[in-house]
């Protein structure tokens, strides 16, 4: 049974772009930034940076899962001996 992905690649890219813009603005000294993520608007401040980065890591991980696929990954290689 295949589970449909929660987000499309375009939606993930939109969210990642919005989060990066918020992070950059707050790191540049903006006091408050309006984060707009697909119809959901929120005011964020410098103290929210860790939460923004957590969301950014999540969405980047989802983007990787979407491109690579879920489940175990096999990489061919040789073990170096000696």
* CATH number reported for the structural domain that contains residue 38 in this entry: 3.30.1580
pTM for this model (two decimals): 0.78
Q: What average pLDDT does this structure show over 32-53?
A: 92
Q: Rounded to an integer, what distance in angstroms lies between the CA atom of residue 16 and that of residue 76?
A: 31
Provide the 10 A C-beta neighbour count for residue 18. Answer: 19
Q: Report the chain's mean pLDDT, rounded to a whole number.
A: 88
Query: Which of the four pLDDT bands, split at 50, 70 and 90, describes residue 40?
Result: confident
Q: Rounded to an integer, what distance in angstroms lies between the CA atom of residue 49 and that of residue 2?
A: 35
Residue 3 lies in a domain: no
Full residue range of the structural domain in which residue 33 is found: 9-68
Q: What average pLDDT does this structure show over 23-45?
A: 92
pLDDT at residue 4 in the model? 75
Residue 73 lies in a domain: no
């Amino acid at each position: 049974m295949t589970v449909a992905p929660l987000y499309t690649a375009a939606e993930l890219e939109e969210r990642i772009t919005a989060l990066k813009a918020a992070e950059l603005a707050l790191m540049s000294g903006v006091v408050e930034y309006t984060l707009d993520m697909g119809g959901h608007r929120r005011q964020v401040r410098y103290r929210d940076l860790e939460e923004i980065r957590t969301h950014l890591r999540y969405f980047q991980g989802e983007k990787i899962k979407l491109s690579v696929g879920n489940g175990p990954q096999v990489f061919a290689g040789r073990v170096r001996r000696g």
